[in-house]
């Protein structure tokens, strides 16, 4: 009485499903083992062995070294302060974007997020052009007041690093606090008011408990990013200020102290893992709170009222505040583009930088022509995107394998296994990834001849958490019951994927892919550590020119990166939302 | 036409047993309503039959073929989950053809079947719409059509009326009943609402504590519920649990509204009492008869069942947190209500149904 075709197909399905899981575990597992866990174990080896035997001496040396301690304290202090400033500025801005609706809001939000995915080296250049000694702000200051000493100093100062970090991460808080504010139903506030509660009581008892998890997880994310900051501190911090990331890099590259570098990398990894676990905890609490909540929040139009002058002042203040943030966000980006047309000397064409792209004049310094650097950049980014997407889609398939997890209502072993083995790569800094690769493979032929393979693999490791996050969040919107119904209707595994799952996740795949592309496009720390010979990227090229007197050429190269990043963002905006979370 | 049997089904969820050695049989072409409170495992059982969840133990047969190990694709069971879950990116027509296309039918056959099912479920004018353009009732019809299009051996409906507004419920329930009868589809219908069972079931099965506690025609179960809990789940009026029993010279049952003296000994355990609204009489005068149970009440609400039939909902004077329902005629009511809105009610304990 049961169709044999259906029976046969069900059997094939079950085999297909099992093979996918085995394939993922094999592909993903071996990828991680080969390019993450094995390199990591190499770091362990350097931290705990003097070449012959096991020793704690490197660990003890590292943690008692006063220089290391002071850099560790600095790393914490700057991350904490950057985080606090981002919170102070970002939470009200998030409130504004949650509460008010206006034309171009989505575009504005997307544009304000650009700094976050802008290559670090581009941000740095933007800062130098805008706030540097002979930058725009200081020139205007001198022009207006006649005072020669600059108003802002970014090199070798604590505030320079803070401003850059706030610029970089502010959008994380803004974007993540919007859903926080939106999760508070306005009716609750109305009810509380009708019960006679004061604004302060409402904030404390009604609003705060509902938004605190969102804000803590956003804050932890900013903390992680700034804790692992590299390019900005490497250049702005000069010798005075170093994050652990910079310190490790200098130990490895400048002092060739591999044992010291590996030990410090290990300590950094432990700290990072602790923060990431804390973050995942708050993130899952946020998700639990959001579950089952219907979005009833309604934004209102910005309008001035004739009677309520208090409200008018409020709104005007908010608009001014947002305008100030916009100027802060966009000026370094605009400055770069303008600088690329600013002749570095008399008689030079405004298009000199763009003409230089096709010349070999700077080849001795850059290792390759600017055009080849651009091509390298695009090629690495494309390869990274393809590899990241393949691995991420497979990963999501195991993490959300209905066939495995729904049976008996238990989380399957494969799902558990996979979700644990990816925590560590998430917590590993770019420099650590690069060091691991370097220590394990630096004598291999592939490393010596085709270092780009390792550059791409590192970019893939950095991108996977972001990409799989985008795909997962799209996948989570699928109602499992829908897939259940589809299978009771006789649809095969493949058909369910093609007809139901794919239409839901393809936007997530596109967004994740672009994210991977953008990350690879501007990745600096790991690339800079690994790069050899002609395999440089635009970011590396810019970093080599950043301390020269002619900012026109690096600004040109940075402008190209800015334009590609903006295009990526416009595409993302068309296809879905940006996931800043890891 | 098919017969469904479940034998010794057990299911744990987070170490808690939600179904325990459950047995149930549904006859050819029968509509059986599975009635139980929320969280009692009804939906789980439905999913087990559909093959979406694997039970810890137990077997399921369709006719005499065991299906326990078949995947949901093969079982050919129509499943309509509580929230309907239409495929939102497909039009109604594509939603319905989804299951047919999995069966490699010719285009003409598919077209024929769509026309047949759309007529049957009365959704011919909705075929070109997207789910978001449908009302709750329409969505439920489409979900029903989608499940019925594959001509299932068995139809599973999970609270099909729960998301429908009150006015459309009866009509939809009757549509479901009509389609089920016309196609003689054996159907398992899950709900927590006793009225739905009264409206359309052939038989009703009451579930709690992971087991089927009583199966039968609604009227039979309603008149002779095995215990207080079953009567409560069915939503019978005027039932109370027994707080304790006193056995001196005469056995006396204590409930939260009154004490009920019994004649003679009781053999089985009594869990509750049912005082049918029809056995209760009203009076404005004091009643002094030791053989009757008398209670003083206030009138809370009067529901006009017909021109001459009233149902009174009365608060107890001694215990205002309890209320009791009484059926009477209009003239009786008007005659017996005093100026303080007070009324006396009485009934013979012999007529009280012991649960």
Contacts of residue A270, defined as CB under 8 A and 6 or more positions apart, other chains included, come to none
Residue the block writes with tokens 């509902």: A210
Q: What is the pLDDT of residue A232?
A: 92
Closest CA to B56 of B45, B70, B72, B71: B45
Together in a domain, A454 and A486: yes
Separation of alpha carbons B14 and A481, rounded Å: 20
ipTM above 0.90?
A: no
Together in a domain, B198 and B288: no
| Torsion sign across C-alpha atoms A496, A408, B23, A1 | positive
> Domain end: B178, B204, B234, which one?
B234
CB distance B73–A13 less than 8 Å? yes
- CATH classification at residue B155: 3.40.50.300
- Provide the domain limits for residue B289: 273-354
Distances (CA, A) of A119 to A368, A550, B80, B184: 20, 20, 50, 67
- Among A406, A495, A500, the residue with its CB nearest the CB of B52 is A406
Task: Give chain B positions within 8 Å (CB) of A407.
Answer: 53-54
State the smallest CA–CA distance between residue B65 and chain A in angstroms: 8
Task: Give chain B positions within 8 Å (CB) of A487.
Answer: 51-52, 71-73
Q: Is A292 on the interface with B (CB under 8 A)?
A: no
Together in a domain, A267 and A386: no
Q: Tell me: the pLDDT tens digits for A441-494?
A: 988 888 888 889 999 999 999 998 888 888 887 887 788 888 888 888 888 878
Q: What is the pLDDT of residue B201?
A: 94
Tell me whether residue B246 is in a domain: no
Task: Give chain B positions within 8 Å (CB) of A5.
Answer: 103-104
Together in a domain, B206 and B281: no
- CATH classification at residue A558: 1.10.3720.10
Separation of alpha carbons B248 and B245, rounded Å: 10
Separation of alpha carbons A380 and A295, rounded Å: 40
- Among A14, A481, A500, the residue with its CB nearest the CB of B81 is A481
| Binding-face residues of A in 509-528 toward B, CB within 8 A | none
Tell me whether residue A431 is in a domain: no
Plot region of B207 (φ>0 → left; ψ -120 to 50 → alpha; else → beta): beta
Tell me whether residue B90 is in a domain: yes
Q: Tell me: the pLDDT tens digits for A220-238?
A: 999 999 999 999 999 998 8
Separation of alpha carbons B140 and B134, rounded Å: 9
Task: Give chain A positions within 8 Å (CB) of B63.
Answer: 1
CB distance B79–A479 less than 8 Å? no
Closest CA to A397 of A48, A23, A101: A23
Tell me whether residue A36 is in a domain: no
- Among A5, A485, A491, the residue with its CB nearest the CB of B81 is A485
Tell me whether residue A224 is in a domain: yes
Strands of B251-254's sheet, edge to edge?
Answer: B244-247, B251-254, B259-261
CB distance B81–A7 less than 8 Å? no
Together in a domain, A236 and A374: no
Q: What is the pLDDT of residue A409?
A: 47
Average pLDDT score over residue span A284-304? 71
Q: Tell me: the pLDDT tens digits for B148-169?
A: 999 999 999 999 998 888 888 8
The two structure tokens encoding residue A538: 């635009």
- Among A406, A487, A499, the residue with its CB nearest the CB of B73 is A487
Together in a domain, B220 and B83: yes
- Provide the domain limits for residue A391: 360-397+442-582
Tell me whether residue B244 is in a domain: no
Q: Tell me: the pLDDT tens digits for A79-125?
A: 999 999 999 999 999 999 998 888 888 888 888 888 888 899 999 99
3-class secondary structure, A396: helix
Q: Are B56 and B11 in contact (CB under 8 A)?
A: yes
Tell me whether residue A189 is in a domain: no
Together in a domain, B89 and B198: yes
CB neighbours of residue B264 within 10 Å? 7
Q: Are A160 and A233 in contact (CB under 8 A)?
A: no
Nearest residue in A to B95, CA atom: A486
Distances (CA, A) of A328 to A8, A172, A229, A514, B195: 63, 15, 20, 26, 65
Residue A581 has pLDDT above 60, yes or no: no
CB distance B76–A3 less than 8 Å? yes
Task: Give chain B positions within 8 Å (CB) of A7.
Answer: 70, 74
Quickly state the pLDDT bin for A408 (edges 50, 70, 90). very low
Quickly state the pLDDT bin for A358 (edges 50, 70, 90). confident
Task: Give chain A positions within 8 Å (CB) of B74.
Answer: 2-3, 6-7, 10, 490
User: Which helix (H) or strand (E) element contains residue A271?
Assistant: helix A258-290
Distances (CA, A) of A190 to A101, A208, A528: 20, 16, 55
């Amino acid at each position: 009485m049961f169709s044999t075709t259906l029976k046969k197909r069900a059997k094939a399905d079950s085999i297909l499903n099992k093979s996918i899981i085995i394939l993922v575990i094999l592909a993903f597992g071996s990828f991680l083992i080969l390019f993450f866990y094995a390199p990591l174990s190499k770091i362990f080896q350097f931290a705990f062995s003097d070449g012959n035997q096991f020793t704690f001496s490197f660990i003890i040396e590292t943690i008692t070294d006063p220089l290391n301690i002071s850099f560790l304290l600095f790393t914490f202090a700057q991350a904490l302060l950057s985080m606090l400033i981002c919170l102070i500025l970002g939470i009200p801005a998030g409130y504004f974007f949650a509460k008010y609706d206006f034309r171009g809001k989505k575009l504005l939000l997307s544009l304000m997020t650009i700094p976050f995915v802008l290559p670090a080296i581009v941000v740095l250049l933007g800062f130098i052009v805008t706030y540097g000694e002979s930058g725009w702000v200081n020139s205007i200051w001198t022009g207006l007041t006649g005072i020669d000493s600059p108003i802002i100093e970014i090199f070798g100062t604590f505030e320079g690093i803070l401003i850059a970090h706030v610029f970089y991460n502010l959008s994380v808080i803004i974007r993540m606090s919007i859903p926080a504010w939106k999760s508070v139903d306005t009716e609750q506030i109305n009810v509380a008011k009708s019960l006679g509660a004061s604004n302060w009581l409402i904030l404390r008892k009604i609003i705060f408990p509902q938004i605190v998890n969102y804000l803590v997880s956003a804050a932890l994310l900013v903390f992680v990013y700034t804790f692992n900051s590299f390019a900005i501190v490497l250049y702005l911090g000069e010798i005075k200020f170093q994050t652990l990331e910079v310190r490790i890099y200098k130990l490895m590259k400048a002092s060739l102290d591999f044992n010291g570098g590996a030990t410090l990398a290990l300590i950094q990894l432990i700290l990072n893992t602790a923060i990431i676990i804390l973050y995942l905890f708050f993130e899952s609490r946020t998700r639990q709170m959001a579950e089952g909540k219907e979005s009833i929040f309604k934004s209102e139009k910005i309008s001035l009222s004739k009677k309520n002058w208090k409200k008018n002042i409020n709104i005007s203040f908010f608009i001014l505040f947002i305008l100030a943030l916009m100027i802060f966000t966009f000026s370094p980006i605009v400055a770069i583009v303008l600088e690329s047309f600013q002749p570095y000397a008399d008689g030079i064409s405004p298009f000199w930088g763009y003409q230089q792209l096709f010349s070999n004049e700077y080849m001795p310094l850059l290792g390759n022509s600017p055009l080849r650097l651009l091509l390298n950049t695009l090629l690495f980014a494309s390869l990274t995107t393809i590899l990241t997407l393949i691995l991420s889609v497979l990963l999501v398939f195991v993490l959300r394998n209905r066939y495995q997890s729904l049976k008996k209502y238990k989380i399957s072993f494969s799902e558990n296994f996979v979700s644990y083995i990816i925590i560590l790569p998430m917590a590993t800094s770019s420099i650590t990834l690069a060091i691991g690769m370097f220590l394990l493979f630096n004598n291999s032929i592939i490393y010596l001849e085709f270092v780009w393979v390792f550059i791409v693999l590192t970019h893939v490791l950095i991108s996977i958490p972001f990409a799989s996050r985008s795909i997962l969040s799209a996948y989570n919107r699928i109602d499992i019951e829908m897939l259940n119904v589809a299978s009771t209707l006789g649809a095969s595994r493949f058909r369910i994927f093609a007809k139901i799952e794919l239409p839901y996740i393809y936007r997530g795949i596109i967004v994740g892919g672009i994210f991977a592309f953008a990350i690879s496009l501007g990745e600096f720390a790991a690339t800079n550590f690994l790069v050899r010979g002609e395999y440089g990227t635009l970011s590396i090229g810019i970093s080599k020119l950043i301390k020269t007197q002619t900012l026109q050429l690096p600004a040109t190269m940075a402008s190209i990166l800015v334009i590609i990043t903006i295009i990526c963002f416009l595409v993302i905006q068309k296809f879905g939302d940006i996931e800043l979370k890891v | 036409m098919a017969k469904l049997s479940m034998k010794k089904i057990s299911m744990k969820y987070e170490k808690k047993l939600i179904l325990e050695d459950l047995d149930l049989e549904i006859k050819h072409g029968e509509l059986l309503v599975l009635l139980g409170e929320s969280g009692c495992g009804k939906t789980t059982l439905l999913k087990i039959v559909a093959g979406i969840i694997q039970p810890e133990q137990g077997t399921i047969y369709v006719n005499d073929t065991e299906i326990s190990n078949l995947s949901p694709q093969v079982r050919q069971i129509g499943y309509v989950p509580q929230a309907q879950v239409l495929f939102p990116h497909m039009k109604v027509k594509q939603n319905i053809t989804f299951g047919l296309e999995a069966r490699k039918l010719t285009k003409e056959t598919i077209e024929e079947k769509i026309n047949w099912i759309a007529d049957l479920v009365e959704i011919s004018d909705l075929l070109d719409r997207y789910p978001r353009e449908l009302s709750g009732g329409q969505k439920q019809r489409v979900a029903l059509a989608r499940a019925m299009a594959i001509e299932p051996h068995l139809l599973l409906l999970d609270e099909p009326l729960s998301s429908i507004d009150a006015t459309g419920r009866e009509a939809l329930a009757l549509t479901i009943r009509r389609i089920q009868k016309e196609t003689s589809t054996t159907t398992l219908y899950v709900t927590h609402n006793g009225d739905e069972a009264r409206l359309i079931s052939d038989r009703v099965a009451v579930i709690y504590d992971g087991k089927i506690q009583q199966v039968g025609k609604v009227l039979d179960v309603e008149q002779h519920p095995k215990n207080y809990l079953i009567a409560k789940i069915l939503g019978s009026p005027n039932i109370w649990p027994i707080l304790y029993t006193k056995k001196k010279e005469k056995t006396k049952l204590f409930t939260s509204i009154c004490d009920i003296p019994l004649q003679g000994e009781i053999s089985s355990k009594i869990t509750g009492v049912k005082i049918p609204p029809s056995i209760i009489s009203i009076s404005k005068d004091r009643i002094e008869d030791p053989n009757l149970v008398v209670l003083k009440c206030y009138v809370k609400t009067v529901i006009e069942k017909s021109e001459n039939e009233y149902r009174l909902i009365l608060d107890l004077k001694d215990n205002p947190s309890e209320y009791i329902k009484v059926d009477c005629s209009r003239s009786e009511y008007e005659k017996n209500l005093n100026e303080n809105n007070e009324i006396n009610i009485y009934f013979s304990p012999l007529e009280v149904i012991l649960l």
